[in-house]
Amino acid sequence: MLVKSTVGEQRTVLHNISWETFEALLRDTGEDRGSRFAYDCGVLEIMTPLFEHENPKSNFGNFIIALAEELGIEIRSAGSTTLKRKISKRGIEPDTCYYIQNELAIRGKQTLDLENDPPPDLAIEIDITSSSVNKLGIYSALGVIELWRYDGQNLKFYQLVEGQYVECKLSIAFPIVSVSEISRFIEQSKSIGEIALLKSFRAWVREKIR
């Protein structure tokens, strides 16, 4: 077992964990626990987010809702729902994720099963410290088309192409949005309040779509 902690996150890594044990841990710990799991073919990482981790997550979530509202797009927020597929022996709980292109396909559903349902269209992953599992490999195995990843300093957009993530400059779900523009607003979040930030972001979106 390996445990490491920073101001942003605390991570515990367990090896040789079977799929059955992973699913049992999910059942036993429930959905209200503060930690998040990432499982990659026998390696289980348990991450407990701290303040430096959670604040950017809140801002990203505000941006997504504002974009959807201003563009008139319906979305379904799936939060940190456990995404898993037994056949690939991989599972993860993103910081937050959304159904956008596939919102209609899961509208009205109360449970999510990736053996039958489509994966979220966009996942957001915040890793202030280096993860001990290959999260891009997990997300690609689950079929998540778009991933935004932020390390506390740098933001990267990825899109899934033939089973592999390639870095891209523009969002697939929101083509008017570039990684440089979102990065600018995330940087602003370090020096202004959240409401002022959101107002500024909405004004920018409205100007873009005029």
Mean pLDDT on 118-145: 91
- DSSP 8-state secondary structure symbol assigned to residue 119: P
Taking the domains of the chain in order of start, what are their residue ranges? 51-208
* Cβ contacts of 115-120, under 8 Å, gap ≥ 24: 115/85, 115/86, 115/87, 118/143, 119/83, 119/143, 119/144, 119/145, 120/78, 120/83, 120/94, 120/144
Mean pLDDT on 66-80: 95
pTM of this structure:
0.90
Closest C-alpha among 208, 36, 26 to residue 135: 36
pLDDT at 7 over 90: no
Mean pLDDT on 56-84: 95
Looking at the domain covering 51-208, what would its CATH class be?
A: alpha beta
**Rounded Cα distance, 131 and 8, in Å:** 12
pLDDT at 125 over 90: yes
**Rounded Cα distance, 195 and 45, in Å:** 34
Percent of all residues in the chain with a pLDDT value above 70, rounded to a whole number: 96
Does residue 11 or residue 184 have the better pLDDT? Answer: 184
pLDDT score at 32: 72
Phi, psi at residue 92, to the nearest 5°? -160, 155
